[in-house]
Structures are given as structure tokens and as C-alpha cells.
């Protein structure tokens, strides 16, 4: 039963995100992730520019006023470095309580063929595993595998979800 439910949700989200005109696509459901990534890129560009400006300012102040005035600017640089580390953390949203980000990416697909092959695998192995483990344990297994794989992807290539 869980296998069929997972297949149905995956098919519906796949169909909604693959077909229809641009204004009516269900990509709006997933645009938050894209927007978040674009926001991250914009913040990172601003951060990089600010850091370069700050480094130039630090050098200028160091030359004009000496080392004493530079210490305050170095505190700002440390704050920017801490902000950069937070932006690079793939689990920053999960740590803030957004636990759904661990499992929702399992419903995203890169195209119809990807969706079809995932459904074939789910039908082949999901039915057998669900019969062996029963529905609730199978659902727990699916969620655990989704969470582990999404965490691994986040550390490997950065999070986009």
C-alpha cells in the first residue's frame, strides 16, 4: 500500500512539474528551493564583494593608522567568515527545524524518463520490501534512506532543496 502511495505521489509531482505551460506549471511548489539557492548566490556575491572591499579597507587603514585601528576591522572580517560558514552548511535549514527538507527531495525528478525508471524500481523492489517489512516499517525505511541520501548529497555537492 505504501509503495503504491509513494508511486502515486511521485507520479503526480512528476507530471505536475513536467507538463503544462510555464505560467501554470507546478514548479511553483519547488521554486522556493531555486529561489533559496539564487538568494544564496546573491548573498555570496555580495559577501565576496564586501570581503574584497573590506580587505582593501583593512590594508588602507593599516597603512594610514597602524595596526591598532585594524583590529576592529578584523573583528568584522571574522563576523563575515562566520556568516560564510553558516551559508555553506548544507544542514542549516534542518538545524533550524525544517526537517521536511530531509525527505521531500525524494519526490523531485529530472524528467519523465527519470520518473519512469524510479517507478519501475519502486514497483520491483518496493512491493517485495513492503510485503517483507509491512507498511509502516517500509515507510520508515523509505524515509530513512531518503534522509541519509539527501544529507550525503548536501555534503557532497551542496544543498539545492
Segment 75-109, tens digit of pLDDT:
878 888 877 776 777 777 778 888 887 878 887 77
pLDDT at 89 (0 to 100): 74
- CA-to-CA distance for 115 and 14, rounded, in angstroms? 7
pLDDT at 81 (0 to 100): 82
- Give the tens place of pLDDT for each residue, 37-65: 777 788 888 888 888 888 888 777 777 76
pLDDT over threshold 70, residue 71 = yes
Q: Where do the structural domains in the chain lie, given as residue ranges?
A: 1-23+108-155, 31-93
- CA-to-CA distance for 101 and 90, rounded, in angstroms? 11
Task: Kindly state the DSSP code that residue 105 receives in the 8-state scheme.
Answer: G
Average pLDDT for residues 3-15, to the nearest whole number? 76
Q: Are 109 and 115 in contact (CB under 8 A)?
A: yes
pLDDT at 17 (0 to 100): 66
Amino acid at each position: 500500500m505504501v509503495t503504491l502511495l509513494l508511486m502515486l505521489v511521485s507520479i503526480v509531482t512528476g507530471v505536475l512539474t513536467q507538463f503544462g505551460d510555464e505560467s501554470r506549471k507546478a514548479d511553483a511548489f519547488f521554486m522556493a528551493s531555486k529561489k533559496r539557492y539564487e538568494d544564496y548566490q546573491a548573498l555570496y556575491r555580495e559577501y565576496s564583494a564586501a570581503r574584497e572591499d573590506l580587505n582593501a579597507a583593512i590594508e588602507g587603514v593599516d597603512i594610514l593608522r597602524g595596526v591598532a585601528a585594524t583590529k576592529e576591522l578584523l573583528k568584522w572580517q571574522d563576523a563575515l567568515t562566520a556568516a560564510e560558514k553558516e551559508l555553506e552548511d548544507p544542514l542549516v535549514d534542518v538545524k533550524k527545524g525544517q526537517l521536511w527538507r530531509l525527505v521531500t527531495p525524494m519526490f523531485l525528478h529530472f524528467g519523465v524518463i527519470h520518473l519512469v525508471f524510479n517507478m519501475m524500481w519502486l514497483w520491483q523492489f518496493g512491493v517485495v520490501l513492503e510485503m517483507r517489512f509491512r507498511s509502516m516499517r517500509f515507510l520508515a525505511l523509505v524515509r530513512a534512506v531518503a534522509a541519509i541520501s539527501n544529507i550525503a548529497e548536501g555534503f557532497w555537492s551542496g544543498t539545492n532543496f
